[in-house]
Amino acid sequence: MYSKELSSIKKSNRFRTRELFDENLIDLASNDYLGLSTKKEIFQKAYETVLKENYHSPKASMLVNGYSKIHKQFEDKLCELNKFEAAVTVGSGFLANISMIEALCRKNDTLFIDEEYHASGILASKLLRPEQVIVFNHNDFNDLKTKILDNKRTGRNVIAIEGVYSMGGDLAPIEIFNIADEYKAILIVDEAHSSGVIGENLLGIFDYYKIKPNKYHVKMGTLGKAYGSYGAYILASQEIIDFLVNRAKPIIYSTAPSLFDTALGYESLKFIIENKKELKKRIEENLNIIYKELGIKSQSLIIPILIGDNKKAKEIQEILKKYGYLVGAIRQPTVKEAIIRLIAKIDIQSDVLTNICKLLKELNVNKWFN
């Protein structure tokens, strides 16, 4: 039925398969930035929290009777730490992006979205009318400002960016926050890859730039990366959260997020805050190794290495597997050009990270990167 399409995908070296993770491999591919997915003490605390409840399933939508005190406790803690008025937990980052973009961009509004925004946001933008969506060059605040000034539509302006971009590992520039303030634009910030990794308190890009949230700011974070769980949350003004709860279809028509995953996210958040000094030290140590060995200066733990060829990216990945390392071989359409995506997770020992960097450098010099 889809043989021609599959043949085309295979021919371009973009065919993907699900593979059971070989636990003999050292994981340098996942988004478990802080290694919290292996912290059994966090798991135990979350388990005990849910065990105390009369039920362990949310059972229904948040707007029926699926909203639990476990959800509220997590939301309250997020608001307290991030200085936002209100929060809502969501099933996943993908659903959160659909919720925010589809609901907040009304008929006369315009969405300005970074060209490298996550696929879920790009998909959400397809739910709007074409004339409502303007894509600006990646992290190019001058291009964004020009396109805002050239826009003739009379509704609200909505800007969508990521705190740390998932493939490039680069940070959104503070100038975009300033532009949003200048033009009173709603600013959606996807913090999936920045929460738990950057900032004085490891809370993400708002924390990193020391930006005090205002009524135009909307922050989304996920639990499936640094927090070692699954799910997502949206932080904003009370008015925006109320509007999302009443208009965002993934919130209204989905079963409320898992109680256990939410409790696990809550325990991970507390762990990060309580241990931020040591976590920040380990992040800095690993980034120093990356700079020393590969010459790559990064502010996040995502280290992209440009390959430019799908077949070669897969071949390098397979070579590294033979040495006991798993890295990401990222190809189109996820990225414009194929990359090896190395995650400098802080549960990776310094000597191990140094060794794989030396191996990558060796491959770079001898075969692939000339």
pLDDT of residue 366: 39
The DSSP secondary-structure symbol of 62 reads T
Label residue 364 by pLDDT band (50, 70, 90).
low
pTM of the model: 0.94
Output the pLDDT for position 71.
98
pLDDT at 363: 80
Q: What is the mean pLDDT of residues 63-92?
A: 97
Cα 359 → chain centroid:
28
In tens, the pLDDT along 286-331 reads: 999 999 999 999 999 999 999 888 888 899 999 999 999 999 999 8
Selection from 237, 220, 229 nearest residue 166 by Cα: 220
Alpha carbon distance 80, 89 (integer Å): 15
pLDDT score, position 367: 45
Residue with tokens 């040495």: 323
**Strand partners of residue 236:** 86
CA distance 294 to 275: 28
* Cα of 61 vs its chain's centroid, Å: 24
358 closest CA partner among 268, 275, 292: 292
How far is residue 119 CA from its own chain's centroid? Answer: 11
Cα–Cα distance measured from residue 93 to residue 99, given in angstroms and rounded to the nearest whole number: 10
- What would the two tokens of residue 132 be? 């409502």
What is the DSSP secondary-structure string of 102-115?
A: HHHS-TT-EEEEET
Tokens of 247: 């208009």
Task: Provide the pLDDT for residue 246.
Answer: 97
Q: Where in the chain is the domain with CATH 3.40.640.10?
A: 41-274
The topology (CATH level 3) of 41-274 is: Aspartate Aminotransferase; domain 2 (3.40.640)
Helices 93-104 & 238-247, crossing angle to 10 degrees?
Answer: 100
pLDDT tier for residue 275 given thresholds of 50, 70 and 90: very high
Q: Which fold has domain 10-33+301-368?
A: Aspartate Aminotransferase, domain 1 (3.90.1150)
For residue 17, what pLDDT band results from cuts at 50, 70 and 90? Answer: confident
**How high is the pLDDT of residue 268?**
98
Distance from first CA to last CA of the chain, Å, rounded?
41
φ/ψ of residue 160, rounded to 5: -125, 120
Pair 272, 34: CB distance under 8 Å: yes
Find the angle CA(337)-CA(175)-CA(85) to the nearest 5 degrees: 105
Examine the pLDDT at 50 and tell me if it is beyond 90.
yes
